[in-house]
A and B are shown apart, each in its own frame.
Chain A
Amino acid sequence: MKRPDKDSAAGARKMTRRALILGGAQAGFMGLLALRMRYMQVEEADKFRLLAEENRINIRLIPPARGEIFDRNGAPIAVNNPAYRISLTREDAGDVEEVLRRLTSLIKLTDEELERAQTELKRTQPFFPVTVADQVAWSDVTQIAVNAPALPGVTPEVGLTRTYPQGSDFAHVVGYVGPVSDYDLSKMEAPDQLLLIPRFQIGKVGVEAKLEEELRGKAGARRVEVNHVGREMRELDRREGQQGENLQLTIDANLQTYVQGRLDGESAAAVVMDVTNGDILAIGSAPSFDPNLFVRGISVSDYRALTENKYRPLAAKSVQGIYPPGSTFKMVVGLAGLDAGIIGPEDTFYCRGHLEVSGRRFHCWKGSGHGSMNLEGSLRESCDIYYYELAMQLGIEKISAMAQKLGLGDRIDLPMSAVAQGLAPTKAWKREARGEDWMIGDTVNSAIGQGFVLASPLQLTVMTARIAAGRAVQPRLIKKINGIEQPIADAPSLGLNENHLRQIRKGMFSVSNNRKGTAYGSRIIAEQYRMAGKTGTSQVRNITAKERAAGVRSNADLPWERRDHALFVNFAPYENPKVAVAVVIEHGGGGSAVAAPVARDITLQALFQGEPPLDAYPQKDRPRVQEMQKKLREYRPAAGTDAKSRA
């Protein structure tokens, strides 16, 4: 096709023009690209550099070793033992099912563990090790090491696990640790980053929980470079954390073990306190449980056994249990009477076995009556009528005030879980709590530690120590934190007349050293260790007139739950008090027969700091004591010592 030159020349000119337009547009767009590049790479470079670093760098926490707990002499109570766990890395394992099958033929794995491992393996990144078995015995670790070629991706790892070498003996005192739960986190305002680590363990109850801050320590951190799926490529730097602080308790482990052994078989609590400085030397509660079970993750059946046991092994009865103090409350009433000037030591009340108060008849434990009783006699023989008469003249407010002065009805600040407040009732309290007016009968009941009065074994110990020392002794459980001695709380004078206190102590001395005393049978023979105490038998039921007419049945005939609590409080030595002891045996029967011997034995053990010689005991007790000592030497706490191996 031949075209006129003019036409094609015009076409060429047009094309040149349009090519320049198009080229210009392209150049313009490239300029835009260059500007965008400059904006991102120069102006915004710092922002993007930061984002790149955030992508690349991960902060990984290094959990600190938890602080350990020792007794006052340095015996270990809560320690960190090396624990072996077996983990599996998916990408190294290849055939995960096959490797798991081989693993199960070597070590025992429960179906639960297997299933959990399998689901976790599916969920996590292939390079992330998944724990298959925790708390593995050393023998299993060696088995796996020997068979390593057949087990690709399987690695034994060593970590630290909390162990309680004293087993059940300290379960109620130090408690135990467990993995952080969502509930734990919900209670905290700004939880420590450490708590977000899966399976990180924190104190759940007892000292472990109360001194969590001190025990936990500070997390270290590693800065690591990670790739897009979070695989760790290399460590950039590391800052070591700070180990948790070690604690030293005021408790003497030997005495604690003795107390637990002595209470074994009963549902009971006992507390031993140093009168001079308030140090808690032993604080036992029976039955107990093995805290190591909780660290490892307690099985449903084990846990059910603990919760369904009617002796309530999980409760720390020494601080959580509150009981009517019974006759051990008589010192409070007597002291209040002396302090108010209502009675003198030699003033008497006449006991004919019962007393009519506004149409109601109140009985003495001794139906035939004690006759004329002065203060010492009333304590020695635990006459009830004396205290009914005295209390009616005193009024409840003065009694309550004295009880508070001696530490009853006040929450004692001790780092254990659920420390009970108890109750020293007042008229205002009854109106508020019950919506009823205070009745004279309530005062009469309170006079002998029944009715509304409630106290924990710890509070009874504090009361006894205060009577013995004449000062407001405060209990102390933590002796040292990281080697630093903790302050002993001020023990100001109670502001009571020393003569009055001496009268009360004299009455208590009679209880266990006078032939007529209710605890004469459980006296201490050794002159320099003789103790002063008071028995208590607190009713957990009302005795009806009909029952009384038919003759009060002995405790042994009643079902366990309805038997009386047996109580005993004492301090020793009488001349120069060193220890105060309180023993409560739930539904044990009479204080003099059941609680007093236990308290005496514990007192002697505390004073001698070990097994006392037989001649400290009354002659007729010696064969029985000897047999018991033999038995106690064989006592071992539940799952103490070697708790690291797998059951």
Chain B
Amino acid sequence: MVTGKRQRIVVVGHGMVGHRFAQAAVERGLTETHDVLVVGEEPRAAYDRVALTSWFGHPDGAEGLSLLPGGEYDDPRVRLVLDSVVTEVDRDARTVTVVSPPSAAGDLLADPGAVTVHEYDVLVLATGAAPFVPPVEGRGKAGCFVYRTIEDLEAIRTASETATSGVVIGGGLLGLEAANALVQLGLDTHVVEMAPRLMPVQLDAAAGSTLVRHVERLGVKVHTGVVTEEILGDEQVTGVRLADREIETQVVVFSAGIRPRDALARECDLEVAPRGGVLVDEQCRTSDPHVFAIGECAAPGGTMYGLVAPGYAMAEVVVDALLDGPGTFTGADMSTKLKLLGVDVASFGDAFAATDGALELTYSDAVAGIYKKLVVSEDGTRLLGGILVGDASAYGVLRPMVSSGIALPDNPEQLILPASSGVQLGMPDEAQVCSCNDVTKADILHAVAEQGCEDVAAVKQCTRAGSTCGSCVATVKNIIEDHFASVGKVVDKGLCEHFRLTRQELFDVVAVHGYRRFDDIVEAHGTGRGCDICKPAIASILASQTSTHILEPATAELQDTNDKYLGNIQRNGTYSVVPRIPGGEITPEKLIVIGEVARDFGLYTKITGGQRIDLFGARMEQLPVIWKRLVDAGFESGHAYGKSLRTVKSCVGSTWCRYGVQDSVGLAIALELRYRGLRSPHKLKGGVSGCARECAEARGKDFGVIATEKGWNLYVGGNGGATPAHARLLAGDLDTATLVAYLDRFLMYYVRTADRLQRTSTWIDQLEGGLDRVREVVVEDSLGLGAELEAEMARHVGGYEDEWRATLEDPSKLERFVSFVNAPGTPDPTIAFTTERDQIQPIAPALIPVGAPA
């Protein structure tokens, strides 16, 4: 390789595998020496195609599936160009020709799109696969679709609006996914499969018929062993003719497999495999050493792999090769576990007992719809493969037994019998737990034992295990728990030495017993006299459940530092004061008052990130006088000091902005006033943007609202800080009343169940079921909690009072605001200021020597 000069990598395709390549290039330092240009054909950045069907669950939810929500990589040396097609590869000149789309406004003739030519040192083909549409007569009629991209799904949804019935041609994995989508769209759904059973590649006859019973129970009609002869209708589909019958339908989805997209490679005379796919070696190098192919367009050793995990592995192998590493791709575990139409299905290893002398052990329960088969070696000592339908809970243990070859127990049938104790069998360390991201049990144990990960969310972040299809999350959780149990560490979810209960349990205990005093709670459910962990947690729980002022005698001494003085303590013991400015909207008169107060008290003044103004340097005894000036001018506490709602940030919205489609300021003010003062496990921030340009950065907030033409999209679980997170779509196109109802439920559900100091993003991640769980509870109201949560919020809203004003009106609460109890006129002598850029700055108090005489 040429040294000193940066090498250029061009990646063709930005699907899941192309994205993984770019990600790995950044993470493994390849971008230190290489510039990466990724050219994607779809209008959006890579998204989770495996979870495609879930897109129907949240309309306008393309963002929810995105693997690169911001649309660009953090590393500026990786450039992503979307909506563009590589039309030609010149291997001699080492260039690719890229055609970008015509500008949306211009007409095609005047503006045919930009044609650019890019040089490469390394070319990576990640063009994926295309759906295979069998040559059935009439397959081009309107109403015929494939199932691969978000655009496909959008088209199917539109067609379904006027349809009553839909037919899926193909009863494999993807076909059943597509059927699931049609069911969700309310269509009378049929599946037509040429083979005698569903999922012929993964399942045997008995498993297939068990699956059929499940699927038919959901109202899907299954036609197996029949060929589709013709799609009926004039221009528009009206029906499907099978060998022996006709089905009336308006929507046909072809899902009869995929074919590698290798046209670009063929055109530039790269070798391709006989059954399609760019032929590559174990390093995924094509017949041209400067060109690699990865994912579904590649055929390592002549075989293409239609799963994401092998594609990811190939991406890693190429990055490794470019770093002169030893990685190779020599085939992949094609095991599959998934939930199809709510039914667990798994197939792994030698599922069809193709190995010489292999024996089969089966268990089936037709009533419960469970079928399990183990394939074991002739001598009965090793597990070779298996099939599970209806209950795939043993998959996590069984599949690694195949790859590791550990000895079977004497009674292997125990592994598949109901309530099997055999599931307790240990899994070897080298067993692969997450096949999507190639994470072994040892990797997870390393993360837990060496890297301080204590729960699934942390392990996910550290190892990526469970972050793609999620099917291994339960196994990951078990491994973590087993580990802690084995090292004798009680996985103690208790708050602190005084309480064995979690915050959620404490919350429930307080609600059930109606406790109002710490003493009662600690006597009945804890030990000792509390500490700086449990006392503020209980103070917060009491504040969430009552509307009592936090400085009432029963709770004043429980409050955390800042709550106790209704201000934010600063490094020299002074406080900062933040009046509420709802939505960031303020009149000039009020702005002048803030300026006057700051000037008169000599406070350092700074604009905050939450669209308000922070006044620093107030001595504790000055706080009430400062509040009085502010309250008299119509201000109230901004709760900047509390684990509570801070601000709801807004852009200027449709009232002024020429792009705005809704009044974002009006909504932000309403939401901020509704939720002000709500005590929660951690601070809460909100944002409202008036259009998709998202100028309020709402998706960086715990709850973010973005205007659409039809209403509001609600996003949850975002935050900035050390571990930034983008909020994800909870529900789309809501009217304002529904939006508020969902927000009431979401916030109260969080307040009730999150751990102490857990932001919404980590709370959602550690919930069993994650965001889907939140959606079930908040949107679908599956627990029937909706009305109760809304009522709790209504109680909070009705009971709100300004904490500053209430303190000013109660002399007993003001007593604590003195410098010295015996010398109230003497200010704290350790507080002093200097001047910097025309404002005060604290002088660090002289640190007293440690180990001062006792």
A binds B: no
B residues in contact (CB < 8 Å) with A: none
A residues in contact (CB < 8 Å) with B: none
